[in-house]
Amino acid sequence: MFAGGGVEVDGVAHQPDKELGFGLHGEKMRTESGGWQSFFLCLEIPPVFIDSMKYIFVTGGVVSSLGKGLTAGSLGALLEMRGLTVRIQKFDPYLNVDPGTMSPYQHGEVYVLDDGAETDLDLGHYERFTSGRLSRNNSLSSGQVYESVIAKERRGDYLGKTVQVIPHVTNEIKERIYKGGKGVDVLITEIGGTTGDIEGLPFLEALRQFALEVGPKECIFIHVTLVPFVTAAGELKTKPTQQSVAKLREIGIQPHLLVCRCEKPLTMEMREKLSMFCNVPVKAVLAAEDVAHSIYELPLMLQKQGMDQLVCDLLGVRAKPNPKNVWAEIVDRIKSPKFTVNIGVVGKYIELQDAYKSVYESLSHAGIANRAKVNIVRVDAEELESKTGLKQLNKLDGILVPGGFGDRGIEGKIAAAGFARREKIPYFGVCLGMQVAVIDFTRNVLGLKKANSMEFDEKTPEPVIALMDEQRNVVQKGGTMRLGAYTCTLKPGTLARKSYGVDVVSERHRHRYEVNNDYLERLEKAGMIISGWNPKRGLVEITELKGHPWFLGVQCHPEFQSKPNKAHPLFAAFIAAAIKYSRKKQK
């Protein structure tokens, strides 16, 4: 796959014959003829000796949001570089069946997998840091566990026994561990929440039992904890970590490694103290300081402290380090950009870092691909509902409207799409972002001023965005949208076809409403290009505009398939167009 866009855009390395191929972005170099050629630096997989499948469990202590998911993802990345096949999964103790119906204020974004599973945003980290594709088998909540146990009881599967947390609930959890790791060398399982939470106890008990069943050298425990800096005392404090590990040991779990989140460097004296009180070797007390530039520095930070070698030694795996370090190249590109662009993300949850997590990361990946620093400007959609509010868009080199639900701020999003259309600013609409662009075009180019989406106005006389037929009688909210991967056929000669470099693609979806096909003929006559189409269902997937340098909307969520070492081609092309626009402005 190659990213297009009109400037020196790096190609996206893609080698289907190497499942574990960490294809670095090809650096485009001048040829004697003046054209551009690509070369790719790919990771050569070293030989590995492993006698059986291995299990790694990542727990957290003291407080939540310490970065357990990033730690799990970073470890998976380091093990993959050594030639091991890795899969990562998440167990969440909350009683929701999945995060699909949760508010972004409660849980951040919902990350969608190929099979349509609505999962925790940490699964996004897992897929971005490693080459594995995850499924609904790799996301488990207490709600799913109890739902399954109760269904079995109703069917009579337990043959009249008293159903209890031990063994029935814990057996269900253990079954998912065994099921989740088929076909890989190493299965990493992150346990959500914090050690000591009452709802997490069945999961930890299941892990204790599992470790006993598989035996030593087959599984290890990594505990991510906080070593806070107390300003008044002017020092780091280890007591919270000591207490957290003590709580874990009460349950019957002894961690093999400690990953200590800290603001200041962890001294040797501190490491020795934690080693003594937590019963962990000094070399297994690792520091995870706040990174200076990007989360993609974390694998290098942990590798420098020997985390991957420690894990291999504990599990009895012989896997040599790889001399070619893809993460060093990624971090070098982040630290040494050639271009800078300002990209406005127009949404209604802009104050929440995690609400559009995958979009922000995909923009970062596209910056890496283009050797560009991407400054993300968060724009509150409601502020754009006035003409004075639109002035803040003048400073941008590109505008992105992400997915979302509900009518709050919708007129501001429509205004943002219209501004980008009129001012010829690169525009990328994702899911709802495509729909608002279609609404703007219908109102202001076709002249149908009352055009709207049925999501926001059920009685609109011009429903250019309409509810899918199969959604009309849906009552339940959870798991009932158009979810998962769907194919899309690309129209030759379009931005989408040029960016992807192939004729047919597969992208993930999460929505209920679609472009109304009754308006397609009029839209196309007025200058809208339908560049992506789902032939099986007859649905619009991608739209563009004639005469605009880069204006593209997608019904899917391409942000769910972007990686730091393989930027999504549409995001890469969008940032390339923004670079071109920025350079043109400066002349």
Catalytic residue among 107, 125, 548, 557: 557
Asked which of 278, 305, 328 is the last residue of a domain, the reply is 328
Do 169 and 221 lie in a common domain? Answer: yes
Do 324 and 342 lie in a common domain? Answer: no
| Domain count within the chain | 2
Predicted structure pTM score: 0.88
Which residues on adjacent β-strands are paired with residue 38? none
Catalytic residue among 219, 431, 488, 556: 431
Q: How far apart are CA 389 and CA 465, in angstroms?
A: 26
Do 309 and 374 lie in a common domain? Answer: no
pLDDT value at residue 1: 31
pLDDT value at residue 474: 52
Do 376 and 317 lie in a common domain? Answer: no
Which amino acid makes up residue 538? G
pLDDT value at residue 481: 75
Do 324 and 436 lie in a common domain? Answer: no
Residues of the chain with pLDDT under 50: 1-41, 471, 475, 477
**Exposed, middle or buried by CB within 10 Å (0-12, 13-18, 19+), for 512?**
middle
pLDDT value at residue 426: 98
488 part of the active site:
no
pLDDT value at residue 190: 97
557 part of the active site:
yes
Do 251 and 368 lie in a common domain? Answer: no
Catalytic residue among 365, 455, 559, 568: 559
Tokens of 513: 């409403």
Residue in 561, 14, 23 with CA at minimum distance from that of residue 326: 23
pLDDT value at residue 45: 64
pLDDT value at residue 11: 34
25 part of the active site:
no
pLDDT value at residue 352: 80
pLDDT value at residue 531: 97
Do 292 and 383 lie in a common domain? Answer: no
Asked which of 310, 328, 346 is the last residue of a domain, the reply is 328
User: Is the residue at 241 inside a domain?
Assistant: yes
**Exposed, middle or buried by CB within 10 Å (0-12, 13-18, 19+), for 101?**
middle
User: Is the residue at 14 inside a domain?
Assistant: no
Asked which of 270, 294, 328 is the last residue of a domain, the reply is 328
